[in-house]
C-alpha cells in the first residue's frame, strides 16, 4: 500500500526531543507552558512538534496523575430528547476544559448503574455526572461514597449529604401547572407517574397537590402511579378510565409527571376516541419537539437542560479542584408551556368514548 505515512508509528515525546536536540523533560515543560526554558529551545521544540505532527498521548499523560482527565456521565437512557441534549451539553462543557466525556446508559437499571460506575472507577475518572435511575439513595451513590469518588447528581434527585445535586425545580413547576389548570376551571385532575421512590416524582406530585388544594380545597386529585415499568402503567391507566367510563366522575384533565406517561396517556385517549382538549386536557412534564407540531399541540413543562448541565459541570470541576464545604442542592427553574391540549372543562360536550375500537 502507499500508506507509508499511516504505517509508521506515532511520534513520541522522545522523537520530538531528539529532533529538537533537547531532552524529553524539556519538551514536556515547553508544552505545559513552563517559563524556565530558553526561548530558543522552546522554539526548536515547537518546530519539531510541528514538523513531526506530534500530539500528546492523553493516556500516557494521565498515567502519572491520580485523577485522569476524563469525566464519566451516566444517564438512565439516551433515547429521549432530555438526556440526549444533556449528554451533548455535558460533552461540550467537558471538552472546553480539556477533558474527555465517557457517556454510558444505565438503561433504567440500578444494577447496571453500579456496574458502569465501577468501570468508571477503574478508569479513575476525575469526576462523574450521575443521573440516577431512582434517586440519590441508590446503590450507585453509595458506591461513589464508599470509593471516595467525586461527582454530582442530577435530574432525579433533591438533595444529598455527600454530593452536590442539580435538578429542575419540579415542585415550583408543578405548582404552576396546578395554578394554570385550576384557573381554567379544572376541579378533578388525574396525576400519572412512575416510580414512587423517585425523588422528583414525589416532589412533582407534592408540589402539584399542595398548590392545588390550597387554591381549591374542594379539588379532587386522583393519582395513578406505577412502580417500575411503563407497561404496568398502561394497564393501570386503562383500568382507571374503564371504571369511570359510565359515571360522571371522569377527570377533566391529566397531568403526567414524565414523558413516557404523556405518551401512555395520549395512547389511551386514542383508544377511547377522546380528543384534547374537548374531551380531556393534558399537560406533561418534559417537552419534546413533536409536541408543538401535533394537533393539538401538547402542553408541557420544559426543563432547563443547558442550565442544569452547566451548573453540574461548574460545581463538579470545583470539587475536582479540591473545593471543600458541604454539598449544595441546586434547583433550576422550569418553563411551563400551556399549549392547545389544555382547555376549560365542559366548554364543549364530550365526544363520548367508543368511536374507535
Partner DNA sequence: CAACAGCGAAAAATCGATTTATCGATTACA
Partner DNA sequence: TGTAATCGATAAATCGATTTTTCGCTGTTG
Length of the chain, in residues: 357
CB of 215 to DNA, least distance (A): 59
- Quick note: the x/- pattern for its own copies over 163-192, rule CB under 8 A, is ------------------------------
β-pairing verdict for 164-168 and 151-154:
parallel
Residue 218 DSSP symbol: T
Angle at 233 between CA 231 and CA 237, to 5 degrees: 125
> Counting contacts by CB under 8 A, is residue 290 touching its own copies?
yes
Widest CA span of the chain, in angstroms? 90
Half-sphere exposure of 313 (CA within 13 A, CB side): 25
Going from the C-alpha of 63 to that of each of 23, 99, 124, 260, 334, the distances in angstroms are: 20, 15, 10, 43, 42
Q: Residues touching DNA: how many (CB under 7 A)?
A: 30
Closer by beta carbon to DNA, 57 or else 227: 57
Q: Which is nearer to DNA, 148 or 354 (CB)?
A: 148
Contact call for residues 291 and 298 (beta carbons, < 8 A): yes
Answer yes or no whether residue 101 interacts with its own copies by CB under 8 A.
Answer: yes
SS3 at position 187: coil
Task: Give the closest residue to 167 by CA, choosing from 66, 280, 312, 30.
Answer: 312
List 35, 36, 295, 354, residue binding its own copies (CB under 8 A): 295
Residues 36-95 that bind DNA (CB under 7 A): 36-38, 40-41, 54-57, 60-61, 63-65
Determine contact, residues 188/249, Cβ cutoff 8 Å.
yes
Using CB distances below 5 to 8 A depending on partner kind, what does residue 172 bind out of its own copies, DNA, none? none
Closest to 263 (Cα-Cα) out of 185, 341, 207, 184 = 341
Instruction: Work out what residue 24 binds among its own copies, DNA, none; the CB cut-off runs from 5 to 8 Å by kind.
Output: DNA
* Pairing status of strand 164-168 against strand 329-332: parallel
Considering only 4, 7, 8, 32, the residue that binds DNA (CB under 7 A) is: 32
Residues in contact with 344: Cβ distance below 8 Å, sequence separation at least 6, in sequence order: 184, 185, 186, 277
Closer by beta carbon to its own copies, 142 or else 223: 142
Residue with cell 423517585: 198
The terminus-to-terminus CA distance of the chain in angstroms comes to: 65
58/185 with CB nearer its own copies: 58
Selected binder of its own copies within 25, 34, 60, 111 (CB under 8 A): 60
Cell of 68: 485522569
Cβ closest to its own copies, residue 280 vs residue 331:
280
DSSP-derived secondary structure for 109-166:
-HHHHHHHHHHHHHTTEEEEEE--SS-TTSHHHHHHHHTT--EEEESS----SSSEEE
Choice from 33, 36, 40, 55 touching its own copies (CB under 8 A): 55
* Binding partner at 85 among its own copies, DNA, none, C-beta below 5 to 8 Å by kind: its own copies
Residue placing its CB nearer to DNA in the complex, 68 or 306:
68
- Nearest approach in angstroms of CB 64 to its own copies is 11
Q: How far is the CB of 256 from its own copies (least distance, A)?
A: 12
- List the single partner that 196 binds among DNA, its own copies, none, CB under 5 to 8 Å by kind: none
Q: Which residues bind DNA (CB under 7 A)?
A: 9-10, 12-14, 21-29, 31-32, 36-38, 40-41, 54-57, 60-61, 63-65
Q: Which residues bind its own copies (CB under 8 A)?
A: 3, 5-7, 9-10, 55-60, 62-63, 66, 68, 77-81, 83-85, 87-88, 91, 100-105, 107, 118-119, 121-124, 145-148, 263, 266-267, 270, 275, 288-295, 297
Amino acid at each position: 500500500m502507499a500508506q507509508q505515512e499511516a504505517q509508521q508509528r506515532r511520534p513520541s515525546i522522545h522523537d520530538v526531543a531528539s529532533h529538537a536536540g533537547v531532552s524529553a523533560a524539556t519538551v514536556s515543560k515547553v508544552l505545559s507552558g513552563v517559563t524556565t526554558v530558553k526561548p530558543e529551545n522552546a522554539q526548536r521544540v515547537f518546530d519539531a512538534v510541528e514538523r513531526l505532527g506530534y500530539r500528546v498521548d492523553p493516556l500516557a499523560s494521565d498515567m502519572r496523575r491520580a485523577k485522569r482527565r476524563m469525566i464519566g456521565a451516566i444517564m438512565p437512557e439516551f433515547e429521549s430528547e432530555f438526556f440526549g441534549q444533556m449528554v451533548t451539553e455535558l460533552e461540550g462543557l467537558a471538552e472546553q476544559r480539556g477533558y474527555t466525556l465517557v457517556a454510558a446508559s444505565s438503561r433504567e437499571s440500578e444494577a447496571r448503574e453500579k456496574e458502569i460506575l465501577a468501570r468508571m472507577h477503574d478508569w479513575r475518572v476525575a469526576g462523574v455526572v450521575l443521573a440516577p435511575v431512582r434517586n440519590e439513595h441508590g446503590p450507585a451513590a453509595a458506591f461513589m461514597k464508599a470509593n471516595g469518588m467525586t461527582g454530582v447528581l442530577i435530574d432525579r434527585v433533591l438533595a444529598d449529604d455527600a454530593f452536590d445535586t442539580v435538578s429542575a425545580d419540579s415542585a415550583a413547576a408543578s405548582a404552576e401547572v396546578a395554578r394554570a389548570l385550576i384557573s381554567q376551571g379544572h376541579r378533578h385532575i388525574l396525576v400519572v407517574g412512575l416510580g414512587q421512590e423517585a425523588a422528583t416524582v414525589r416532589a412533582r406530585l407534592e408540589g402539584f397537590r399542595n398548590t392545588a388544594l390550597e387554591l381549591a380545597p374542594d379539588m379532587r386529585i386522583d393519582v395513578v402511579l406505577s412502580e417500575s415499568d411503563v407497561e404496568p402503567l398502561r394497564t393501570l391507566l386503562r383500568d382507571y378510565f374503564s371504571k369511570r367510563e359510565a359515571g360522571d366522575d371522569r377527570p377533566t384533565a391529566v397531568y403526567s409527571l414524565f414523558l413516557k406517561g404523556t405518551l401512555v396517556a395520549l395512547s389511551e385517549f386514542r383508544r377511547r376516541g377522546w380528543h384534547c382538549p374537548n374531551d380531556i386536557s393534558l399537560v406533561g412534564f418534559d417537552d419534546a419537539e413533536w409536541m408543538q407540531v401535533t394537533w393539538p399541540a401538547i402542553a408541557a413543562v420544559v426543563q432547563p437542560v443547558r442550565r442544569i448541565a452547566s451548573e453540574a459541570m461548574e460545581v463538579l470541576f470545583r470539587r475536582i479542584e479540591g473545593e471543600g464545604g458541604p454539598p449544595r442542592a441546586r434547583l433550576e427553574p422550569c418553563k411551563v408551556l400551556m399549549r392547545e391540549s389544555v382547555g376549560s372543562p365542559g366548554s364543549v360536550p364530550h365526544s363520548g368514548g367508543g368511536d374507535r375500537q
